[in-house]
Amino acid sequence: MEIDEDLTLRKIQIFLSFMRYGNLSKTAAEMQISNVSVHKALHSLENSLRCPLFKNEGRNLIPLKSAYVLQENSQKIIQDIVTAVNKTREAAGFAAKVLHLGSLYSLTVNTIPNVISGLKLRRGELDIQLLLSSNLDLVKKLKTTELDAIIVALNETTSDADFESLAMFQDDIYLAVNKNSPLASLEEIDLSTLKDETFLTLSKGFATRHDSDVVFEKAGIDPKVFLQVSDIFTLISMVSTGVGLALLPGRISTIYESSVKLIPLQSPYQIKQEIGLVFLKSKERDPNLLALIAECRMFARQYL
């Protein structure tokens, strides 16, 4: 048997509401339609089913046995549809119970803990899974929907027609030196004078590595790189032991502050990182993402 095209879920919902209340006015109020529309929907449902559901007693509609059979079976149908819709949205990353968030290692010092704690207050049931990696790797994972959102440096890697971004704050790049280094007494540094110094850097793909390369080029330096590492905490730890210098963002200043000094660069070599939230435009109405956006905006206000 083919299902009549006029048999809709909306009419089933109106019918179920009427069966709960047994009253046109209460059904109309719940469904936000008029009494006449409720009556028309019930009559249309009977036509689609090609059988009566009610009998008239004065101005009242009295359910027949067929109405109770339809009520019992259609309640399960509606619940199955709701479940199917929710599972479909979750599979697509919309309103899922898990938020996959990507971040730079350096942002775990202050930014990420604050954002996540605020987000948990907004959506306590949300399970947040955090992935730490490089700017380039996080952008790739966002593009393939492995991540729902990323908090990274906004640069050419995040310039994509499919992305939307929200700037949160700017950070300066400094020269990091061991506090026992002769350079530690300087208030600012002319980077061009460090051609013979040994440097430590992050691997390619990290935003700070990209900015370091830009600064070195400005200073006319082809740095002697002793070691490349894949996370900023290892890098600053190596600086603290005095094995080399590094260019690092100011946000990590509280790490090893007893043994590492961050020296501002002279104006010709100064560079800023803009940190922000990046997400897919196709997901911008997802409730979890809307909560994250709101929290990132709150965090950004402290820098205004």
pLDDT digits (tens, 9 = 90+) for 167-216: 999 999 999 999 999 999 999 999 999 999 999 999 999 999 999 999 99
Q: How many CB atoms lie within 10 A of CB 159?
A: 10
Residue 164 burial (10 A CB sphere; 0-12, 13-18, 19+): middle
Query: What is the CA angle 117-114-273, rounded to 5?
Result: 145
Q: Out of 38, 69, 90, pick the residue that ends a domain.
A: 90
What pLDDT does 93 receive?
A: 63
* CATH number, domain containing residue 196: 3.40.190.290
Same domain, 205 and 127: no
Same domain, 153 and 203: no
Same domain, 113 and 69: no
The verdict on residue 122 lying in a domain is yes
The verdict on residue 242 lying in a domain is yes
**Token digits of residue 235:** 């890098």
Same domain, 16 and 159: no
Same domain, 229 and 286: no
Q: pTM of the full predicted structure?
A: 0.70
Q: Across the 304 residues of the chain, what is the mean pLDDT of every consecutive 10-residue run? A: 82 93 92 94 92 90 93 89 81 76 94 95 90 96 95 94 96 95 94 92 94 93 91 93 94 90 94 96 90 95 78
Same domain, 179 and 267: yes
The verdict on residue 255 lying in a domain is yes
- Tally of domains within the chain: 3
Same domain, 75 and 154: no
In sequence order, what DSSP letters do the residues of 128-194 get, joined into one string?
Answer: EEEEE--HHHHHHHHHTTS-SEEEEE-SGGG--TTEEEEEEEEEEEEEEEETTSGGGG-SSB-GGGG
Same domain, 138 and 179: no
Same domain, 102 and 228: no
The verdict on residue 225 lying in a domain is yes
Residue 55 CA to residue 60 CA, distance in Å, equals 8
* CATH number, domain containing residue 35: 1.10.10.10
The verdict on residue 192 lying in a domain is yes
- Contacts by 61-64 with C-beta closer than 8 Å and gap 24+? 61/18, 61/24, 63/19, 63/22
Same domain, 176 and 158: no
pLDDT digits (tens, 9 = 90+) for 244-267: 999 999 999 988 888 999 999 999
Residue 263 CA to residue 247 CA, distance in Å, equals 9
The verdict on residue 284 lying in a domain is yes
Q: Out of 90, 115, 130, pick the residue that ends a domain.
A: 90
How large a percentage of the chain has pLDDT more than 90? 77
User: Element (H or E) spanning 260, and its range?
Assistant: strand 260-264
The verdict on residue 264 lying in a domain is yes
The verdict on residue 214 lying in a domain is yes
Same domain, 142 and 288: yes
- Domain containing 266: what range? 171-272
Q: Out of 24, 55, 90, pick the residue that ends a domain.
A: 90
* CATH number, domain containing residue 292: 3.40.190.10
Same domain, 144 and 288: yes
